[in-house]
Structure 1
C-alpha cells in the first residue's frame, strides 16, 4: 500500500424491520504508526475541499490524524451503499457535533456515525430510516476513568466489581454507540443509557438498554480494542457481523470473495473428476440433483455426465443448463465451506446471483432452485431465439460503431479489452461481418437466447409477478451484484426479476471491490472465466489474486487443492 494509506476493511450490512428494508456498511481503518497521516496522503483524494481546509487548520497532529482517519472510513462506507464521488460529499458537524452528510447523494437519505481510538478508525454509513451508532475504544483508556461518572450503581455491582479489563471498555463503548444514535453523547444521565441483558454469544457481546427498548447493541474485540454497534432492535441479523470476529484476528488479510458465473460457462462433463474422487462434492451434487429432479422431473446428473458426451459438444438446452450451472456452483461452494474456506462476501454475475443468494442462505436451496427453473421456463416461453458474442476489443468499439448499435445490444463488460453483445438470430451474420471488418477476434457463446437485452423484457415482466411472494432473509454473507454494482438488500425479488435484462458490468464491479481493499477472488464457475477476466483486467493491481476452482481442462482435484492452498496462504 502507499505510504500514509490506512489498511481498511469494509463490511456491508442488510437491515429489515416491519416490512422496511435498508442498507448499511461498516468500515474499519488502521493507520500504520510508522507512517505519517499527512494531508498529502493519497487518501486526501477522499476529502471534500471544506474538509481539506479544516484539516489544514488543525494544530495538533493527533487531532489531525483522527479526523483524517475518520473521514477515510466514512467516505468508504458511504461509497459502499451509494454511488457517490467521495470528494464531492462533505461530512460536516451538526449543532451537537454529530456528523452530517452534506452533498448530492442519490436515493434515500443517508447518514454516518464515526469513531476512532489510537490508530483505528471506524464508521458506519446507513439509510437514515435505520439510525445506527458506532464506537471503538481502548480498554487501557477506559480503565483510567472513574466508573461512577458514566455507569449506574447496578451496572457497577453486576459487571464492574471484578478485575476483567474488557468489561469496563465494553460498557463504555456500548453507551457511546447508543448515545450517537440519540445524538446526546455521554452527557446523558447514566441511568438513561443503562445496559441490560448483557450476554456473550459466540464471540460477540449482545445487550439491550433498559430505557430504550427499541435499540439493541453488540460489541466485539478488534485489534486490541473493542468495537460496538447500536441499531434498531430486531433490524439486523447478527450472523452478518460474526464474520467481523474473524476479521479482527486477520490483520490485513485480503477479503475472500466467492464468485459465481452465468450462462455460457457450462459444458458437458463439468466437474466429473471431482464428482468421482471427492465424496463431499459428490454428496452435495447428489443432494441438490435430487431436489431439482423432484421439482423438474429431470435427473441432472444423467444430463451432465451420462452418454459420454464430449466437453466440446454444445450444452445449450436452457431447461438443463440453467439448473446445471446453479447446481454445480452451489455444490462447489458447499464443498469449500465444508473444507474450512470462509468467504467475506459473494459476487454473482447473471445467473450466478441465484447461486450466491442460495449459498448466502438469503433463500433456502429448494426455493432458489425453483426460482431458477421458473426463470428458464419463462425465457423459453417468451423470448425469441437469439445469440451472444464475446468480443476481444474495447467496449468503445460498440459505442462508436453505429451499425452495432442498430443490430445488437451491449450485454456486458468484463475488462477493458472484452465485452459481450446480445442480438437476434437474423442479425448474427451481419454483426460478425462488421466485427471482422474491424479486425477483432470474437466468439459466439453456447447460449440460445439474447440475455441482458430487450429480448428479455416480457420475461422480466412475468417473472416479477412470480417473484412477488419471495421474502428473503438477511444473507449470511453480503452478496455483490454485477448487474447493479451494489450489495443486494431487501429489494431482492424486484432485483432478480430484472436480472436477465440488466447489462453485466463485471469490470466496474471488480474495480469497486478492489477500491475497498485487497481481495482473494475464488471463481466457482465451471470454466473459470471470471477469474480470467479479473486477471486480464487488473494485471497491474497488486492488491488481489484470482483463482479458478474448476476449469474445462481437467485435473479437478488438483485445481481444487490449489484453491484450498491459496486460502490457507492468507
Structure 2
C-alpha cells in the first residue's frame, strides 16, 4: 500500500499467510496472478476489486500492411497539435521504427474522445498523413472521429448478390482465426454440396458461385468466419441484423443453431430455392414501399421482396409483370435497376420450396439466442419463440425482408455504429439512408468490414480503426504487430493564461487602458493631468472626450447587434449571464420551445453552470460530450454543481448525478425528461408550494 506502513492491531496476522506489503517486492507466483485494488474516498464510497490474470488467447495475425498510427486528444485543436508534435519528432529521428511507434501509440497512451487514425503503406505515407492531420486537411488514409458515449454496435450480415469469386482468399491466407472458422464450416457444408465450397469461393467460375445452391452457403460461411475474426479483435455486437440468408448467419453466431445444424439448414435453403419456380425477375426501384405497393397489379404476380431503405424497394415475381412495374416507375422518373438473379426470391415463385424446407427445419435443434437478433419478418427484435420455430424460417424464404425497419429498430435501442460483415459494401450505405436525422447529426457510423475494390486486409483494418474512433471497444494492441515501446512526444496541452488583464495585456493595451477609462467616466481632469495639457487645451480635451464617448457607445451598440438580440429569457429573473435562477424563471425560459429547443437551452444551462463551478472562462470551454471527471470535477465540485442545478430546476437531483450521467448532454437530457414529467402531472414547483 502507498500510505500504510504499520499493520492494523485489529487483524490477527498470525492466522494466515496474508501480509501487509510496505515496500516493493518481486511478485512470485506459480499460477494465475491475482491482485486486489482498493479505491477510497470517491463520494464517501470505498471499493475493492479483485483482478485475475486472463488466460492466454489466440490473437489475430497482424494485418499485412503498415500498422496504423492511433492518436487522440481532448479537443480537435489538441489532436492537430498532437499530430504536428509527432510528425516533427519522427522527422528529426529517421531511425525510429514505425512499427515501434504504432505499437507505443496503441498500447501506452491514454485514449481521449477526439481521435484519428493515420494509415499508410510506408513511413513517407504515414508522415504525409500526420502533416495533413496537423493541418486539418481531408486526405485518403486519415480518418477522424469523436467517440460516442456508451456507443452500441450492430453487425449487418449481407444477403445474396454480394458474392464474388475470390472472396475470403486474402483473409484465409493472412488470418488463422478466419481460416479455422471457414475450414470448420466447409467441413460441414462440403458433403452436403458434393464439392469443395472453398474452391468455389476462391477459384471457381462465377457461374458456379452465382448458383443459389452455392451462393447462400458461401455467403453464410464467409460471414460467420468474418464475424469470428472481428470478434478476435475484441469487438462485441449488441444487436445482429441479417438480410435474408444473412439472418441465418446472425442466428448461428447468436447461438440459435449449432454449426452443423446451421450448415444443414443453409444448404437445404439454397438448394430448394434454386429448384423452385424459374422464369422470375427482381427489380430495385428508387421509391418508398407504400407507393410501390400501391402500383402493383392484383394477385401474386408481383410482390414486395425487400424494403431496404425509405427510398429503396425491391419487387419480385413474374418477369413480365415485374418488367411492366419497372417501366411504370421509370416513366415517373425513378431509378430502376434489374437485379442479376436466377429466381424471383421472396415471392410466390418460392412456394414450391416451403413444405420441403419446413421438413428440414423440423429436424434441427434450435436454442434461445444469447444475442439480440432483429427479425426480417417484423423489423423488431425476434423473440426466442420465433427464432426456434421451423415455421419462422420457412416464412423467411417467402415474405418481405424488412431491413429498413430492422435498422430503425436497432437505432431505437441505442445503436450508433453499424458494421457490415460481407464481401462488399451493400448494407452499410442502405443503413445510412435508414437512420434518423438525429443519428446522422450525431455522426452515427455505418461501415463495411470489406470492400470488393480494396484489399480485404486493408479494408478490415480501416473498418476496425473507424470503430475505435467512434468509441466502440476494440483491442488496439491487436491492430499492430508486437513491437517495442519507444519515447514519443507527450500530450499537446492547450495552455491558457489566467493572469489579470492589466498584466496579461500587450504593452500598448496597458498604456491605452487609462484613456478609455477616462472616456467612460467623462474624466477631463485625468486627461489633462496625464497628458500635461495647458489651460488653453482643456476645451479641446473636453471636445475629444465627448466625441470619443459617442463613438464608443455607437461601437458597443453595433457589437451588440452583431452578437444577436438577447434570448427571451435574458430579461426574466436572470443572472448576469441571462440564465434563469429559479424554477419559475426556468419554466418561463423554456416555455414555447419545442423539444430540440428545450434540450438546447438546458444544455446551455448545464454547461454554463459547470463552467462557473470549475472557474472556466465560459460554457464554450466545456464540450457537451466531455466527461465531468475528465475535465476536473471532484466529489466537492460535483456536489456544488448538483446543488446549483437543484436550485434552478427545483428537482431533487441525486448527489452523484454526474457519476450516473457523466456528460453535460446526458444531464441536460435527464433534466428535460424530469421537467417534462413534472409538467405532465401538473406538479407545482417548490417555490409555488412555499
Q: Report the TM-score when normalising by structure 1.
A: 0.53
Distance 1:446 1:275, change over 3 A: farther
Q: Which residue of the partner structure matches residue 271 of structure 1?
A: 168
SS, match of residue 188 in structure 2: helix
* Higher Cα Rg, which structure: 2
Deviation at 1:467, TM superposition (A): 1.7
Distance 1:497 1:402, change over 3 A: closer
Q: Which residue of the partner structure matches residue 334 of structure 1?
A: 228
Q: Which residue of the partner structure matches residue 567 of structure 1?
A: 467
What is the rounded CA distance, in whole Å, between the counterparts of 2:355 and 2:362 in structure 1? 11
> Are 1:497 and 2:394 an aligned pair?
yes
Q: Which residue of the partner structure matches residue 576 of structure 2?
A: none
Contact 2:276 2:351 in 1 (8 A): no
**Equivalent residue in structure 1 for 2:355, among 441, 452, 461:** 461
**Equivalent residue in structure 2 for 1:412, among 290, 306, 310:** 306
Q: Which residue of the partner structure matches residue 452 of structure 2?
A: 552
> Are 1:472 and 2:366 an aligned pair?
yes
Give runs of aligned pairs for residues 342-381 of structure 1, distance below 5 A.
342-381=236-275
SS, match of residue 409 in structure 1: strand
SS, match of residue 257 in structure 2: coil
Deviation at 1:354, TM superposition (A): 0.7
> Are 1:282 and 2:179 an aligned pair?
yes
Distance 1:430 1:355, change over 3 A: same
What is the rounded CA distance, in whole Å, between the counterparts of 1:558 and 1:295 in structure 2? 33
Unaligned runs of 5+ in 1: 1-139, 145-163, 168-199, 204-249
What is the rounded CA distance, in whole Å, between the counterparts of 1:461 and 1:322 in structure 2? 19
> Are 1:303 and 2:200 an aligned pair?
yes
| 1:424-465 residue CA offsets vs partner (Å, 9 max, x unmatched) | 234344334333322322222232122222222332233223
- Provide the alpha-carbon RMSD of the alignment: 3.3
What is the rounded CA distance, in whole Å, between the counterparts of 2:259 and 2:156 in structure 1? 17
Unaligned runs of 5+ in 2: 1-40, 55-146, 472-690
Deviation at 1:368, TM superposition (A): 0.1
By percentage of residues, which structure has more helix? 2
Give runs of aligned pairs for residues 158-169 of structure 1, distance below 5 A.
none
Distance 1:201 1:404, change over 3 A: farther
| 1:214-257 residue CA offsets vs partner (Å, 9 max, x unmatched) | xxxxxxxxxxxxxxxxxxxxxxxxxxxxxxxxxxxx99321111
Give runs of aligned pairs for residues 382-531 of structure 1, distance below 5 A.
382-403=276-297, 407-488=301-382, 489-492=384-387, 493=389, 494-531=391-428
> Are 1:259 and 2:156 an aligned pair?
yes
| 1:450-494 residue CA offsets vs partner (Å, 9 max, x unmatched) | 222222233223322322243322323121122222323133223
Q: Report the TM-score when normalising by structure 2.
A: 0.44
SS, match of residue 385 in structure 2: coil
How many residues end up aligned between the 2 structures?
A: 333
Runs of 4+ in 1 over 6 A off after TM superposition: 164-167, 200-203
| 1:503-534 residue CA offsets vs partner (Å, 9 max, x unmatched) | 01111221122122142111002222111101
What is the rounded CA distance, in whole Å, between the counterparts of 1:202 and 1:366 in structure 2? 34
By percentage of residues, which structure has more strand? 1
Greater displacement, 417-426 / 271-280: 271-280
Contact 1:267 1:314 in 2 (8 A): no
SS, match of residue 504 in structure 1: coil
Contact 1:390 1:442 in 2 (8 A): yes
Deviation at 1:555, TM superposition (A): 1.9
Contact 1:414 1:505 in 2 (8 A): yes
Q: Which residue of the partner structure matches residue 604 of structure 2?
A: none
